[in-house]
Structures are given as C-alpha cells and as structure tokens.
Amino acid sequence: MRVYVETAARGSLSAAALQTGMSRAMASRYLASIEQWAGARLMQRSTRRLSLTAAGQRMLSLCREMLAVSTQVDRLAAESEDEPQGQLRITASGIFSQTQLAPAVMDFLARYSKASVDLQALDRTVNLIDERIDLAIRITAELDPNLIARRLGTCRSVICAAPAYLREREVPKQARDLASHNCLSYAYFGQSLWQLMHQGEMVAVPVHGNFSTNDTATLMCAALAGGGIVMLPTFAIAEELRTGRLVQLLSDHDVADMGIHAVYTSRQHQSALMRTMIDFLAQRFNGGVKPNPI
C-alpha cells in the first residue's frame, strides 16, 4: 500500500521505489500484487507517467486510510513506553535545516535515545499526507487554513547588500530609494513588494530586479557576488554581517517579522513523540532563531 500511495503521488514507479528504499523491480512486484488483490487495474501506464483509473482513485483513498491506521497502531505501542520513541519525518527549508533545525534535532535525540528523525530539507511546499510527513517547520506570514499550526518563534530579516554592489551606486537612505536598485528576491513571495515598518507605520515598497530564486542560500550567494540588494533572515547571514561581507541597509526600517510554525495535519492523532518534539522546538525558538553557530 505504501508503494502504491507513493507511486500515485509521484506519478513514477522509479521515484516511488527510491522513496521507499527498494529496487524498481521490487516496487513493480508490489504494485502488481495490490492490483491482483483489488481484482482491477488501478493504474494506466504510459511511457511518460502513470495515471490512476477510477478504481485506482478509490483504492488510493482506502490505502491512505489503512496506512493511517497502521501508523496509529505503531504510535500506540510507542506511547505505552515512558520515554517518547519512534521515528518522526520532518521537513523544513534547506537553510533552516542546516543552520537551525539539524543542531536542534541532535540535541533532542541526545535527550531521547529511543527516537529517530528523518529530516527532509526541501525548498518547496510539501503535501504532508502524500509524502508521509509528520511535521513541517515553515517560516511564513500566511498559513494554509487546512492545516494545524503552532507558532514556535519569530524570524527576523534585514535588507542588505555586498560592498562591491554599493561601491558603484548610491546607498539607499529611504525605502523609496530601493526602486532605483536591483533587488534580488524570492521566487515564491514578496517578489515585487517588500513590507517595511518605519516609525510605527507599514510601508509597502515596490521593488524590481533581474534575479529570483526559491532558495535562501542561493539568494545570499547572489548578494555576496555583488548582484544586488536582498532581504534575508538574520539567522542565515549573521556571520556575513559581522565580517562586513554584507552590509545592512535602512537600519531605521524594520522588515515585517515572519512566524516560525510547526505545521501538522491532526491534533487528534498526534503521537507523544511529536508533541514532545514540538514542545522542545517551541522552547528552543521562543526568543527567535539564533545566528548560525557554525
């Protein structure tokens, strides 16, 4: 059933085999077995992609339900122990995973020796159900209303640029000056409008630039190369600001804070391990994320 759900989610048997840690031939045998069990063809196969038949859609819903029940049975056994145990699948962005979450998880696992974590560092929004993710850590000002979230802390950002970029241009002194600069941005939000606070008032600043990306580390590298002005989280660039490789601009303007959220699908079926992890992270990030310790 897990192979079938992964294949349906990814549209590829090879991708499903990779995700479940088995050979393509073994995954194919599992897929044939579940079609034999169902007594119907569940997938239409083409050279490019697998698609579900009507029976396949119904079977997909049933398989998800049965896998959920199986997970609950496993969690029930784990919760019978005094110490939280089992595995959590967690996802977060690459830069947050590297600089903040991985060190936090190591401290958690040192405290709870019966637990394990599979951390997926992904710079995209993940479907928690389809990809069997227990917990997502998201830094955002807008949450999906269909999911449950707990705020863990606050992410602060600054506007900055490399000295190489500023040497050839006039340093912006007011927010409106950004309109005459090349502003590098995230591809998925705030690409053309930056929200700043100045003297207690919100200022929406239209910006433009010739480069965007979905990855914070890549955006930082573009800024370090002198490509333009960026808005970046302080936890990712603390060392660059300290050494002067990046220079903070418009220090009398505050970038609107974003929340750091633990996002999950259900309160009812939350394991003891996940509750403990969320409480741990909330305590860790309560005062905001710290600069990269590395």
Phi, psi of 43 (to 5 degrees): -135, 140
Q: How many CB atoms lie within 10 A of CB 193?
A: 11
Residue 77's pLDDT is 56
Question: Comparing C-alpha atoms, which of 6, 7, 3, 1 is closest to residue 45?
Answer: 7
CATH of domain 157-255: 3.40.190.290
> 19-50 pLDDT, tens per residue?
888 888 888 888 889 989 888 889 887 766 77
- Per-residue confidence (pLDDT) for residue 47, from 0 to 100: 63
CA 244 – CA 272 distance, rounded (Å): 45
Name every residue whose Cβ is closer than 8 Å to that of residue 229 and which is 6 or more positions away in sequence.
159, 160, 161, 165, 172, 178, 181, 182, 183, 184, 209, 223, 249
Q: Which SS3 state, helix, strand or coil, does residue 56 take?
A: helix
Extract the tokens encoding 120.
């997926």
Compute the distance between CA of residue 122 and CA of residue 268 in angstroms, rounded to an integer: 26
Residues of the chain with pLDDT under 70: 47-48, 74-82, 188-191, 268-269, 287-294
Distances (CA, A) of 274 to 181, 183, 289: 45, 39, 20
* Residues 18, 26 contacting (CB under 8 angstroms): no
Compute the distance between CA of residue 293 and CA of residue 287 in angstroms, rounded to an integer: 16
Around Cβ 47, how many Cβ atoms within 10 Å? 4
What's the pLDDT at 75? 63
In this predicted structure, what is the pLDDT of residue 80?
A: 52
CB 263 within 8 A of CB 138: yes
Give CA–CA dist 46/279, Å, rounded: 46
Instruction: Classify 65 as helix, strand or coil.
Output: helix
Asked if domains 81-154+259-284 and 157-255 share a fold, the reply is yes
Strands (E), 24-126: 43-45, 50-52, 86-92, 115-121
Tens of pLDDT, residues 43-102: 887 766 778 899 989 999 899 888 888 777 766 655 555 678 899 999 999 999 999 999
pLDDT of residue 293: 35
- pLDDT value of residue 294: 27
Q: Is the dihedral of CA 137, 196, 254, 248 positive or negative?
A: positive
- What is the CATH architecture of 2-67? Orthogonal Bundle (1.10)
Q: Where are the domains of the chain?
A: 2-67, 81-154+259-284, 157-255
Fold annotation for 81-154+259-284: D-Maltodextrin-Binding Protein; domain 2 (3.40.190)
- Please tell me the distance from the alpha carbon of residue 89 to that of residue 118, in angstroms, as a whole number: 5
